[in-house]
């Protein structure tokens, strides 16, 4: 396809920046590589994400980044640190909606070009076990976070991609966990890309065909 490369903005926390894995193993990088292999011209992802960020910290990080352009593809994955720090769920609901509205704005107002990725379940990781954390409590609270995110996402006509079931596979497969015992490995990120790829590919292909 003879087109200008598409642009990609990925917003989030450790799961987007790829804590404890190589840069090429991050799921945004793996997604771009797979799209390029399918002859979709796309730029390297611009990632605004930092390990440990909560929704309010991501809002501040975006403001400090000084974004002055729009993007063909925008992804948002945030919330695990709100849950980990026991922030009020009402704060997440309010700030997630603000972040999603900003994401749509960065997608030139085209909500269909925005993809929200569910929060994975870290309760199944060795880190959680070593800390003596309650696996069922974490799963229940993250289900609540993801339900809120999915509801708000649907109300804005953006897409919600549920990778949480895949993240639970780490309970019985340590190869899905990075060396820090907490974050996903490149192998798990590949599984996430497998889940989201077709939906994102179809959107991008349609975007290119209308240029």
Q: What is the mean pLDDT of the segment spanning 61-78?
A: 97
Residues 103-136 have pLDDT tens digits of 999 999 999 999 999 999 999 999 999 999 999 9
Residue 210 pLDDT > 80, yes or no? Answer: no
pLDDT digits 0-9 by tens, 49-69:
999 999 999 999 999 999 999
Q: What would the pLDDT profile of 12-23 be if each residue is shown by its tens digit? A: 999 999 999 999
Contact 11, 58 (CB under 8 A): yes
Q: Which residues contact 198 (CB under 8 A, 6 or more apart)?
A: none
Contacts of 141 (CB under 8 A, 6+ apart): 83
Domain ranges of the chain: 8-209
Residue 88 burial class via C-beta count within 10 angstroms: exposed 0-12, middle 13-18, buried 19 and up? exposed
- 209: which residues sit within 8 A by CB, 6+ positions away? none
Contacts 24+ apart (CB under 8 A), 191-197: 191/163, 191/166, 192/27, 192/117, 192/163, 192/166, 193/27, 193/30, 193/31, 193/34, 195/161, 195/162, 195/163, 195/166, 196/31, 196/115, 196/117, 196/161, 196/163, 197/31, 197/34
DSSP state string for 36-70: HHTT--BPPPEEEE-TT--HHHHHHHHHHHT--S-
Tell me how many degrees the CA angle 79-88-57 measures, rounded to the nearest 5: 45
The Cβ-side half-sphere exposure at 167, using a 13 Å CA radius, reads 21
* Mean model confidence pLDDT for the chain: 96
Q: How many residues does the chain have?
A: 211
End-to-end CA distance of the chain: 11
Q: How confident is the model at residue 206 (pLDDT cuts 50, 70, 90)?
A: confident
Percent share of the chain, pLDDT over 90 = 94
Alpha carbons 86 and 123: distance in angstroms, whole number: 15
Above pLDDT 70, what percent of the chain? 97
Q: What is the mean pLDDT of residues 137-163?
A: 98
CATH architecture of 8-209: 3-Layer(aba) Sandwich (3.40)
pLDDT computed for residue 3 by the predictor: 73
pLDDT at 2: 57
Question: pTM of the full predicted structure?
Answer: 0.97
| pLDDT for 35 | 97
Tokens 């793996």 found at: 30
């Amino acid at each position: 396809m003879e087109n200008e490369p598409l642009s990609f903005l990925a917003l989030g926390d450790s799961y987007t920046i790829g804590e404890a894995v190589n840069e090429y193993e991050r799921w945004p990088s793996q997604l771009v590589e797979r799209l390029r292999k399918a002859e979709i011209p796309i730029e390297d992802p611009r990632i605004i994400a930092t390990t440990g960020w909560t929704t309010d910290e991501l809002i501040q990080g975006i403001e400090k980044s000084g974004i002055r352009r729009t993007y063909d593809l925008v992804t948002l994955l945030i919330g695990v640190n709100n849950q980990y720090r026991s922030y009020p769920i009402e704060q997440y609901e309010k700030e997630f909606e603000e972040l999603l509205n900003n994401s749509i704005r960065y997608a030139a107002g085209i909500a269909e070009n925005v993809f929200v990725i569910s929060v994975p379940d870290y309760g199944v990781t060795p880190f959680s076990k070593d800390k003596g954390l309650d696996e069922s409590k974490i799963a229940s609270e993250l289900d609540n976070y993801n339900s809120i995110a999915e509801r708000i996402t649907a109300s804005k006509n953006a897409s919600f991609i549920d990778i949480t079931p895949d993240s639970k596979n780490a309970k019985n497969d340590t190869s899905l966990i990075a060396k820090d015992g907490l974050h996903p490995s490149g192998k798990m990120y590949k599984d996430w890309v497998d889940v989201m790829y077709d939906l994102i590919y179809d959107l991008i292909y349609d975007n290119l065909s209308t240029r």
